[in-house]
């Protein structure tokens, strides 16, 4: 919790907070014809060769999607930018701009808002995009909504085009954010002496374990989606694509349902070195004394925002895509929600574990 003498939003007022926040962003590129400060931003899409704009919106809520004990304002800024830009990349498009709305109580330290802006600016820079607008509102809790805009550069890839026989491929990390979250939930942000001794007895050195813990925590706090893989997949003719935000089973299921197919994942491919099953996942699982966690993280861990794409057979997969399975024909009608169907199989069997992240989990009676 912040020191009580730091300035609060309500002390500075909207105009001054806005001035400080806008000061965190770099100068506007030429294609941002009207930058933040007017009624609306204006973007010249001709600079990207396209006449189509891609738009996605996502929100994070304090206490649900982040807690300030575990994530700084910079972390939250990176995360919301990343999850929105991942949706743009998952259409095969290039991220170009972000609009951000911060709702917060008047006693929130201004530093949170400026840290948030720093995180947004950093991830925008990584994605090749800019913060183009947004707004500030007074509210009881912190809610950050963001809208990402993208430009179509080589075609649009939807969820619905996967065909039987297609290769299922993945770009980016899987399970790393879930491993970091599991560490935070276990109260582990660094290794104590007892854990170090136990790990060493089991053959894992302190430095290796500490590096794996730091890697998983960073992956949870600041996901790094492989944005360029999105347009690369579109250029290579991907038939379907989605970003893995709610877990592999749930998001692969969405592609399967939209395309009317079954997605057959293979554990030998998922566990192949080096990605997507990063060997540090196993180290983190050892720290948490439960090796079975690795499989659960890989299959249901969300928020890494890897890109899952399908490609016609014989397509040369554009790097960094790696094969993780194949598309098969469905043998049943598809009326029920994705998670109750056999739309995703692992090594030929229906996944029987938890499906992944839900808002408002359905009440069990």
Residue 170, phi then psi, degrees to nearest 5: -135, 140
Cβ atoms of 222 and 211 within 8 Å: the answer is no
Q: Does 6 bind its own copies (CB under 8 A)?
A: no
Closest to its own copies by CB, 7 vs 291, is 7
Tokens of 237: 């003719």
Collapsing DSSP states into helix, strand and coil, what is residue 109? strand
Q: Which of 274, 333, 335, 361 binds its own copies (CB under 8 A)?
A: 361
283-to-34, 93, 271, 294, 363 alpha-carbon distances in Å: 49, 35, 14, 9, 35
Q: Which of 5, 69, 140, 207 binds its own copies (CB under 8 A)?
A: 140
The DSSP annotation for 281-348 comes to: HHHHHHHTT-TTHHHHHHHH--SS-EEEEEE-TTPPPPTT-EEEEEEEE--S---S-GGGSS-EEETT
Q: Does 243 bind its own copies (CB under 8 A)?
A: yes
Q: Does 363 bind its own copies (CB under 8 A)?
A: yes
Q: How far is the CB of 303 from its own copies (least distance, A)?
A: 14
By CB under 8 A, which span of 61-69, 180-188, 204-212, 294-302 interacts with its own copies?
61-69
CB-CB neighbours of 246 under 10 Å: 20
Q: Does 58 bind its own copies (CB under 8 A)?
A: yes
What DSSP character marks residue 222? S
Q: Does 113 bind its own copies (CB under 8 A)?
A: no
By CB under 8 A, which span of 29-37, 113-121, 171-179, 201-209 interacts with its own copies?
29-37
Tell which positions 265-324 bind its own copies, by CB under 8 A.
none
Q: Does 334 bind its own copies (CB under 8 A)?
A: no
First to last CA, the chain: 38
In angstroms, the CA 39 to CA 37 distance is 7
Q: How far is the CB of 361 from its own copies (least distance, A)?
A: 7
Closest to its own copies by CB, 57 vs 186, is 57
Q: Does 136 bind its own copies (CB under 8 A)?
A: yes
Q: Does 197 bind its own copies (CB under 8 A)?
A: no
Number of residues that bind its own copies (CB under 8 A): 79
SS (H, E, C) 145-213: EEEEEEEECCCCCCCCCCCCCCEEEEECCCCHHHHHHHHHHCCCCCCCHHHHHHHHHCCCCHHHHHHHH
Closest to its own copies by CB, 73 vs 134, is 134
Cβ atoms of 345 and 263 within 8 Å: the answer is yes
Q: Does 189 bind its own copies (CB under 8 A)?
A: no
211, 225, 290: which is closest to 89 by C-alpha?
A: 225
By CB under 8 A, which span of 84-92, 162-170, 182-190, 348-356 interacts with its own copies?
84-92
Q: How far is the CB of 298 from its own copies (least distance, A)?
A: 21
Cβ atoms of 90 and 230 within 8 Å: the answer is yes
Tell which positions 87-106 bind its own copies, by CB under 8 A.
87-88, 90-91, 93, 97, 99-101, 103, 106
Buried b (16+ CB within 10 A) or exposed e, 122-147: bbbebbebbbbbbebeeeeebbbbbb
Q: Which of 20, 29, 68, 158 binds its own copies (CB under 8 A)?
A: 158
Q: Which of 22, 28, 53, 184 binds its own copies (CB under 8 A)?
A: 53
Location of structure tokens 């206490």: 63
Q: Does 359 bind its own copies (CB under 8 A)?
A: yes
Q: How far is the CB of 146 from its own copies (least distance, A)?
A: 9
By CB under 8 A, which span of 39-47, 74-82, 185-193, 221-229 interacts with its own copies?
39-47
Q: How far is the CB of 173 from its own copies (least distance, A)?
A: 18
């Amino acid at each position: 919790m912040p020191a009580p003498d730091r300035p609060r939003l309500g002390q500075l007022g909207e105009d001054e907070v806005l001035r400080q926040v806008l000061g965190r962003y770099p100068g506007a590129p030429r294609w941002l014809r009207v930058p933040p400060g007017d009624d609306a931003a204006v973007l010249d899409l001709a600079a990207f060769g396209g006449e189509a704009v891609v738009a996605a919106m996502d929100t994070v809520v304090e206490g649900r999607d982040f807690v300030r004990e575990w994530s700084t304002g910079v972390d939250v800024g990176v995360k919301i930018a990343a999850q929105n830009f991942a949706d743009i990349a998952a259409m095969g498009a290039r991220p170009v701009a972000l609009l951000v709305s911060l709702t917060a109580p008047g006693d929130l330290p201004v530093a949170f808002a400026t840290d948030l802006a720093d995180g947004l600016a950093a991830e925008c820079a990584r994605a090749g995009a800019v913060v183009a607008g947004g707004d500030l509102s007074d509210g009881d809790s912190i809610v950050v909504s963001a809208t990402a805009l993208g430009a179509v550069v080589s075609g649009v890839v939807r969820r619905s085009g996967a065909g039987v026989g297609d290769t299922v491929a993945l770009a980016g990390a899987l399970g790393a954010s879930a491993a970091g979250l599991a560490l935070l939930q276990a109260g582990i942000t660094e290794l104590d002496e007892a854990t170090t001794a136990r790990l060493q007895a089991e053959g894992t050195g302190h430095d290796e374990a500490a590096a794996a813990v730091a890697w998983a925590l960073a992956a949870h706090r600041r996901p790094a989606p492989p944005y360029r893989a999105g347009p690369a997949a579109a250029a290579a003719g991907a038939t379907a694509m989605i970003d893995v935000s709610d877990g592999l089973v749930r998001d692969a299921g969405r592609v399967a349902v939209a395309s009317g197919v079954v997605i057959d994942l293979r554990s030998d491919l998922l566990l192949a070195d080096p990605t997507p099953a990063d060997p540090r996942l196993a180290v983190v699982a050892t720290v948490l004394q439960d090796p079975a966690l690795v499989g659960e993280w890989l299959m249901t861990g969300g928020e890494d925002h890897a890109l899952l794409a399908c490609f016609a057979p014989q397509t040369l997969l554009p790097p960094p895509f790696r094969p993780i399975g194949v598309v098969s024909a469905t043998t049943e009608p598809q009326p029920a929600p994705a998670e109750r169907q056999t739309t995703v199989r692992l090594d030929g069997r229906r996944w029987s574990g938890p499906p992944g992240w839900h808002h408002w989990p359905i009440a069990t009676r």
